[in-house]
Structure 1
Amino acid sequence: MYYELKAEDTVRLPPGMLVMKLNDAITKILREKYERRIFRELGIIVAIENVEAGEQGTVIPGDGGIYYKVKFDAYSFLPHINEVFLGQVREIVEFGAFASIGPLDGLIHISQIGNEKFFYDKKTKGLGTKRGKGLKKGDKVLVKVSTVSLKGTTSDTKIGLTMRTEGLGVESWKSEKKAAPAKKATKAKKEADKK
C-alpha cells in the first residue's frame, strides 16, 4: 500500500549548491538521501515532494555548508501480508515467476501459481499445465502477498506472492472458468432436448 508521510529533517547545503535555488537544491539532496531506500517501518520511499526550507540557515564555524531545517512529504510503498495487487509478470524462471507490485518485484513460486501442477517450458520460456493453462512474461496477474522481508536495498528485499486463492491469477483464467460451466449447461440442455 502507498502512504503519504509528513517529515522533518536538517539538511546540509554544500557550498557548491549555493548557486541553485534553495528549494531545488534541498529537494535534490533529500531525494538522493531517501528515494529508493527501504525502511522496515515505512517501506520503500518512492518520492520526495513539497519541500519547505526554513527561512534561516545555520552556519557552523569551520564548515562551508549551511544547515537548514526542512519539512517535506515522502511517499512510500509498504506491502502487507494478504494484500492483493494487480501486477505484471517481469520474468519467468524454472522455479516460478517474478511479478511487479508497485516499485518492487515479488516471487510467485511455481507451487504458488495455481492449484494445478505447473511446469517450465524451455521452448516458450513460460510456465504451463497439462490442461493448457499458462503464464508468460508480460501477463497481468492478480496476486496476494504471502511473505515480506524488507532489507536495506531492493535487491535484498524478498516478497513472496501467491495466486492459489480463488479469483487470483491471470485474467484469462477467470474467463476459462466461466466458459466451462456454460459448456456443461449447453451439453445438459442438448441431452434433455433429445429425450
Structure 2
Amino acid sequence: MYYLYTITDSVSVPPKHMSEDAEGATTDILRSRYERTLDKDIGIILVVFNVRNISDGYILPADPNIHHDVTFDVLAFGLDVEEVVVGEVSELADFGLFVRLGPIDGLVHLSQITSDFITYDRKAGVFVSKNTKRTIKKGDTVYAKVSTVSMRNSIQDIKIALTMRADGFGKPEWIKEDKLKGIKEKRRKK
C-alpha cells in the first residue's frame, strides 16, 4: 500500500529562485515536480521529504539555471494484484460499489461483492444479498482483494478492480459470521 523510496535526481533551479537558500528552492521544485504524480514503477507519489545531499550548483552552457544533484525520500501509494486491502465504501452504483483505498478508489463489480445473488436498492442506498440478507452501504468498512491494476498516464486514469467473493472478505461482520458458521459445522461433523 504505502512505500518509502529514496531517489537521487538532478534539480534545475531557475534564476527567480536564486535569492532563496538551495535547500528551500530545491525542495519546492522537487515537490512541484513529483507530488501528486504517477510513476508506473512505484505508484502515486504523495509527498517529497527529507531533501539532502544537495551538491554544489553547476551551470551548463546556454542554460541560465543552476543544477544540483540531490537525494530525497518520497512516500508513494501502490497496489499489487492479489494484495488484501481494507477500505471504506465511498460510493454505490447500479453496477457495483467503490472502496476508498488511500488516495484512490477501487471498484467492486456487482458480481464480485458476494457469491450470493445481490441487488441494489437505490432508494435505501444499500446492496442486499438474496439468501443471507446481508447488506452493504456507504461508509461500511470492507476487506477486499485486488484483482487487477491498470495504470496509464495519470492518476485519473488508474483503474483498480477488487473482489470480495472469497471467504474472509467483505464486511467484518460477514467474516465473523462465516467463521462461527464453520466452527458449528465442524462440531456437527464430529
TM-score range, shorter chain: 0.7 to 0.9
Contact 1:59–1:67 (8 Å) recurs in 2: yes
Give 2:76's aligned residue: 76
User: 1:61 Cα deviation (Å)?
Assistant: 5.1
Amino acid at match of 1:102: G
Q: Which structure's CA Rg is the greater one?
A: 1
1:152 lines up with 2:163 in the alignment = no
SS in 1 for 2:69: strand
TM-score, structure 1 normalization: 0.85
Gaps (5+ residues) in structure 1?
189-195
Deviations 1:70-116 (A, max 9, x none): 11112222211110011111111110011122322110001000111
Amino acid at match of 1:168: F
Give 1:22's aligned residue: 22
1:99 lines up with 2:99 in the alignment = yes
User: How many residues were matched structurally?
Assistant: 186
CA RMSD of aligned residues (A): 2.3
Q: Give the distance between the partners of 1:120 and 1:45, measured in 2 at CA.
A: 35
Q: Give the distance between the partners of 1:27 and 1:65, measured in 2 at CA.
A: 16
SS in 1 for 2:155: coil
Aligned counterparts, 1:163-178, within 5 A: 163-177=164-178
Aligned counterparts, 1:29-40, within 5 A: 29-40=29-40
Contact 1:53–1:68 (8 Å) recurs in 2: no
User: 1:57 Cα deviation (Å)?
Assistant: 0.8
User: 1:4 Cα deviation (Å)?
Assistant: 1.8
Amino acid at match of 2:121: D
Give 1:137's aligned residue: 138
Q: Give the distance between the partners of 1:173 and 1:132, measured in 2 at CA.
A: 11
Amino acid at match of 1:6: T
Q: Which 10-residue stretch deviates more, 161-170 or 62-71? A: 62-71
Q: Give the distance between the partners of 1:96 and 1:6, measured in 2 at CA.
A: 38
Give 1:193's aligned residue: none
Give 2:127's aligned residue: 127
Amino acid at match of 1:84: V
Structure 1 residue ranges, 4+ long, deviating more than 3 angstroms after superposition: 60-64, 175-184
Contact 1:37–1:152 (8 Å) recurs in 2: no
Amino acid at match of 1:166: D
SS in 1 for 2:10: strand
Amino acid at match of 1:157: I
Q: Give the distance between the partners of 2:25 and 2:53, measured in 1 at CA.
A: 10
Q: Which 10-residue stretch deviates more, 52-61 or 7-16? A: 52-61
SS in 2 for 1:155: helix
Distance 1:88 1:159, change over 3 A: same
SS in 2 for 1:169: coil
Deviations 1:138-178 (A, max 9, x none): 11111100001111212111110001111111112234335
Q: Give the distance between the partners of 1:102 and 1:137, measured in 2 at CA.
A: 16
User: 1:16 Cα deviation (Å)?
Assistant: 2.3
